[in-house]
Structure 1
């Protein structure tokens, strides 16, 4: 009787392998980096040049403190949307099933994908923030505030990516992803980062102020300005826990079913 003493890889190590696979894919087919970095950066520069002075005249505040968070959060969602389109092809081509049969932790492929989304969003948010600083943004908070500022889009991007995965593994029609993407991205721009909430009709102010994207962008604005971000961070954490409790189990079950069903 022989005993196989070969050590198994850890879940974090295997997740890194799957994440690197996605990084290689994105480098060779840079649709995701373009959607995640260049497109929101273009929106930031264009929006600031077109309406920056008008917002300063109307509100008395620099629009960059709202535009940079808005474009960082929107970039996280744009990138997640572009990345999710490949899942359908991986399922139909049998790649998900082949990865499922590998001698690795069953969750490593999914956690690796979410890890790749988190790293991509962190890098994209840092680039967008650097461009904002070049345009005149002055970060008034400390280094810890800057870290929290960059982590907010990461959390949004991971939750949004999980929601897209939950849909992508269950459909053969890519346009279905837009049913989630369009309202979510619209919510990012219809938040405190773009139109000042105080200038909106009173009936819609509570909807804009307390929707998930508004709390994320409001927290980033407060962190950049050096103000207290406790309340928007608390609201954002509440939204994160509630959405993760619903979305992550759906993504896990859907991914498992798609992998086990084969092409």
Structure 2
């Protein structure tokens, strides 16, 4: 690399960071102008906790015993990370359909910062949703029992999963483009969520479905969080159960490594 290139590299990095911060602020400004949508996104998982914890919880049994709401809450934390993919998809698809993305592409900025700005904003939104869910969990009697360091590690794994799912949502939005096609994503999100260990143990499922649920990326994060929070329902003899924390790191890293570059490539090819 030439001396000039070495000197320009830090400057390019500073501009990329500055552009990312600006585009993150743009997304946050949209939420300030439309607080209703933001609040609904925060409260919907709370409604799910109340529905499953109190309406159906009495009929649920936890493998090895224990309170069902403590079993449920780590699953709902992960489901909150999954539900956010729809808002990511809608925002990116709307910008693409309205020509906003084309205007960004005409500006002198690194193409990837448009996507990283969106990813950063959505990660902040999901961090707020997770904070609400943690408070909701404490309110209904959930506790973390394995100490603060383990609990913080679990929170980090949840946000890592969310970061990976953001790139999945961005890529799909750039492929399908139309905001109305979010229905397609919803059709995919719900089966992924319910064919996991978020609500019931895979041991209660038929053999083939238990295998699918055990290696679901969502299940890895849920099982790891149950272990790190010290909640009931974690453990088992399968490879996925014995290595839940490792898989909770590996799955998001793999999804990010696949869909991150695909999203950037798709963004660069828009209009061609």
Normalising by structure 2, what TM-score?
A: 0.82
Structure 1 CA distance, aligned partners of 2:192 and 2:117?
A: 28
Q: For residues 43 and 59 of structure 1, do their structure 2 counterparts lie closer, same or farther at Cα, with a shift above 3 Å needed?
A: farther
Q: For residues 129 and 65 of structure 1, do their structure 2 counterparts lie closer, same or farther at Cα, with a shift above 3 Å needed?
A: same
Partner of 1:236: 248
Partner of 2:3: none
Structure 1 CA distance, aligned partners of 2:163 and 2:250?
A: 16
Q: CA deviation at 1:136?
A: 0.4
Q: CA deviation at 1:161?
A: 2.0
Contact 1:215 1:236 in 2 (8 A): yes
Contact 2:154 2:225 in 1 (8 A): yes
2:111 corresponds to 1:110: no
2:258 corresponds to 1:254: no
Q: CA deviation at 1:24?
A: 1.1
- Point out where structure 2 has 5 or more consecutive residues left out of the alignment: 1-7, 236-240
Worse-matched range after superposition: 184-193 or 107-116: 184-193
Q: CA deviation at 1:115?
A: 0.8
Alignment partner for residue 245 of structure 1, among 248, 253, 257? 257
Structure 2 CA distance, aligned partners of 1:58 and 1:248?
A: 37
Superposed, which structure 2 residues align to 1:159-198 within 5 Å?
159-198=164-203
Q: For residues 204 and 16 of structure 1, do their structure 2 counterparts lie closer, same or farther at Cα, with a shift above 3 Å needed?
A: same
Contact 1:165 1:251 in 2 (8 A): yes
Superposed, which structure 2 residues align to 1:21-100 within 5 Å?
21-30=26-35, 33-34=38-39, 36-56=41-61, 60-100=65-105
Q: How well do the aligned residues superpose, as a CA RMSD in angstroms?
A: 2.7
Q: Secondary structure at the match of 1:141?
A: coil
Superposed, which structure 2 residues align to 1:3-14 within 5 Å?
9-14=14-19
Contact 2:74 2:226 in 1 (8 A): yes
Q: CA deviation at 1:132?
A: 0.5
Structure 1 CA distance, aligned partners of 2:265 and 2:180?
A: 22
Structure 2 CA distance, aligned partners of 1:149 and 1:29?
A: 31
Number of residue-to-residue matches in the alignment: 255
Contact 2:88 2:169 in 1 (8 A): no
- Point out where structure 1 has 5 or more consecutive residues left out of the alignment: none
Contact 2:82 2:162 in 1 (8 A): yes
Superposed, which structure 2 residues align to 1:142-221 within 5 Å?
142-221=147-226
Normalising by structure 1, what TM-score?
A: 0.85
Structure 2 CA distance, aligned partners of 1:153 and 1:182?
A: 22
